[in-house]
């Protein structure tokens, strides 16, 4: 029962944050220099057409009224129309979301699949060579500009070695799999098209690694320090005294107890990965929301930029809400 109450309170707490997010995005879009009606109408529109748009879009109303219209539009899934292609921004984002989600999830799998074992290894071999090497690996991770790393990976693995493809989600000759989720790897698996799956996997390796490196580094550090904390506790000594094997002590007893900080940082990373996708997708010509927003920036297509910003923030808030709920299950002592 207490856990339900906690989840409910946590949900209630999200509402004002979401409200604040919409207010902030609304104000940013109103800080744009120049006349928004003119921008929608285009540079060649007549005065009359601009006035018409000002009235029909409610841009002549006071700001609070405009804000209410903005929010009621949002609730109905209306993010405005793109200046670039005159399509509803929501439609555009829907088209590009699966590619970004696929890339982000692949990066997340890499982060956890490599970061956790690496962190455990560093903690067990504390102050040995392995530990120092992981430290160097992590310092580079948090200090490398993602876009530059992407270029260097392309230069090495695509241009010089020719091992991996350099752009896109599939070879041009390969047909995309039938669409269920929009994620090519998953869809190909579901349809049983192994060749397409291999091709999609082949394409995602470089961008996913590029995107994951920063958080891989952070997760490695977090797992290491939290494992070191747990390994020093009395119950580990007791387990050793009882003659349990080192593998069981490390993997079962210590790792389980070091999970909480790992889960927190995983939640935070997910949102940041979507931010990092802006740069990674641009470098690898990956047709996702990140590339979409950079194209929007180049056209100064504000509805596109703001729609993306709002969408990412929404995902960020919801993922962290989920993390807090998982948290409550992992650690029964955490309650409001």
Partner 1 sequence: MDAAFTSRHPRLRELLLTLKILSRNPSAVAGALIIGIMAFMGFSADLLAPFDPIRINLSERLNPPGWGHLFGTDEMGRDILSRVMHGARISLRIGFMVVAAAGMTGSFIGAAAGFLGGRIDNLIMRVMDVVLSFPPLVLAMALAAAMGPSLNNAIMAVAFVMVPKFARIVRGEALAVKEMPYIAAARVSGAKNFWIIFNHILPNCMNSVVVLATLTLGETILIAASLSFIGLGAQPPAPEWGAMISVGRKFVMDQWWYATFPGLFILFTVIGFNILGDALRDVLDPRIRR
Part of the chain binding partner 1 (CB under 8 A), chosen from 18-26, 117-125, 176-184, 227-235: 18-26
Least Å distance, CB 274 to partner 1, is 6
Burial class of 205 by CB neighbour count within 10 A (0 to 12, 13 to 18, 19+): middle
Query: Considering beta carbons, is residue 109 or 300 the nearer one to partner 1?
Result: 300
Q: Tokens 């409200």 correspond to what residue? A: 19
Is position 139 an interface residue for partner 1 (rule: CB under 8 A)? yes
Among 9, 109, 11, which Cα is nearest to 322's? 11
Inter-CA distances, 210 with 13, 19, 42, 238, Å = 34, 34, 38, 42
Min dist CB 278 to partner 1, Å, is 6
Asked if 316 is part of the footprint of partner 1 (rule: CB under 8 A), the reply reads yes
Q: Does 15 bind partner 1 (CB under 8 A)?
A: no
Least distance (Å) between residue 24 CB and partner 1:
6
Give the one residue of 8, 17, 63, 334 binding partner 1; rule: CB under 8 A: 17
Regarding 20 and contact with partner 1 (CB under 8 A), the answer is yes
Residue 220's contacts (CB-CB under 8 Å, 6 or more residues apart) are 114, 115, 118, 119, 122, 134, 137, 138, 141
| Selection from 263, 260, 144 nearest residue 209 by Cα | 144
Only one of the segments 120-128, 192-200, 252-260, 271-279 lies at the binding site for partner 1 (rule: CB under 8 A); that segment is 271-279
DSSP state of 92: H
Tokens encoding 227:
């494992």
3-state secondary structure of 18: helix
The least distance separating partner 1 from the CB of residue 307, rounded to whole angstroms, comes to 10
Choose one: 46-54, 89-97, 103-111, 272-280; the region binding partner 1 (CB under 8 A): 272-280
- List b or e across 272-303, with b for residues whose CB sees 16 or more CB atoms inside 10 angstroms: bbbebbbbbbbbbebbbbbbbbeebeeeebbb
Q: Which of 111, 146, 211, 239 is the binder for partner 1 (CB under 8 A)?
A: 146
When asked if residue 152 is in the footprint of partner 1 (CB under 8 A), the reply is yes
Binders in 275-294 for partner 1, by CB under 8 A? 275-276, 278-279, 282-283, 293-294
Q: Which of 4, 12, 33, 162 binds partner 1 (CB under 8 A)?
A: 33
Does position 228 bind partner 1 by CB under 8 A? no
Confirm or reject binding of residue 159 to partner 1 (CB under 8 A): yes
With CB under 8 A as the contact rule, which of the stretches 4-12, 16-24, 94-102, 238-246 interacts with partner 1?
16-24
Q: Does 272 bind partner 1 (CB under 8 A)?
A: yes
d(CA 112, CA 220): 9
Helix (H) or strand (E) run with residue 133 in it: helix 129-143
The CA distance from 266 to 216, in Å, is: 10
Residue 309 interacting with partner 1 (CB under 8 A): yes
3 state DSSP class of 59: coil
Residue 241 CB, nearest approach to partner 1 (Å):
29
Contacting partner 1 (CB under 8 A), which of 11, 142, 248, 334?
A: 142
> Which residues on adjacent β-strands are paired with residue 81?
88
Sheet strands (E) in the chain: none
47 class by beta-carbon count within 10 Å (0-12 exposed, 13-18 middle, 19+ buried): exposed
140 binds partner 1, rule: CB under 8 A: yes
- What are the residues binding partner 1 (CB under 8 A)? 16-17, 20-21, 23-25, 28-29, 31-33, 139-140, 142-149, 151-152, 154-155, 159, 271-272, 274-276, 278-279, 282-283, 293-294, 297-298, 300, 302, 305-306, 308-309, 312-313, 316-317
């Amino acid at each position: 029962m207490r856990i339900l109450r906690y989840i409910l309170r946590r949900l209630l707490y999200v509402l004002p944050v979401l409200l604040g997010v919409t207010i902030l995005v609304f104000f940013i879009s109103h800080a744009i220099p120049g006349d928004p009606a003119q921008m929608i109408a285009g540079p060649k529109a007549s005065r009359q057409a601009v006035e018409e748009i000002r009235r029909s879009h409610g841009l002549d109303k006071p700001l609070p009224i405009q804000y209410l219209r903005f929010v009621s539009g949002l609730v109905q899934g209306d993010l405005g129309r793109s200046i670039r292609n005159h399509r509803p921004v929501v439609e555009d984002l829907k088209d590009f979301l699966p590619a970004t989600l696929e890339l982000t999830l692949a990066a997340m799998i890499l982060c956890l699949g490599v970061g956790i074992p690496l962190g455990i290894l560093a903690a067990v071999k504390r102050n040995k060579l392995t530990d120092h090497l992981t430290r160097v690996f992590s310092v580079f991770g948090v200090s490398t500009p993602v876009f530059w790393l992407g270029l260097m990976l392309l230069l090495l693995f695509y241009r010089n070695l020719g091992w991996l493809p350099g752009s896109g989600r599939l070879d041009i000759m390969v047909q995309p799999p039938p669409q269920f989720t929009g994620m090519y790897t998953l869809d190909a698996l579901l349809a049983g098209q192994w060749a397409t799956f291999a091709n999609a996997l082949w394409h995602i390796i470089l961008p996913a690694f590029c995107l994951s490196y920063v958080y891989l580094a952070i997760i490695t550090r977090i797992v290491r320090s939290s494992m070191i904390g747990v390994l020093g506790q009395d119950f580990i000594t007791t387990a050793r005294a009882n003659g349990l094997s080192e593998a069981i002590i490390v993997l079962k007893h210590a790792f389980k107890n070091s999970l909480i900080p790992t889960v927190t940082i995983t939640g935070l990373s997910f949102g940041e990965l979507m931010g990092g996708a802006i740069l990674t997708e641009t470098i690898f010509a990956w047709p996702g929301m990140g590339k979409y927003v950079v194209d929007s920036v180049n056209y100064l297509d504000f509805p596109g930029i703001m729609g993306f910003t709002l969408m990412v923030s929404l995902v960020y808030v919801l993922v962290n809400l989920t993390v807090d709920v998982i948290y409550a299950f992992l650690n029964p002592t955490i309650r409001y």
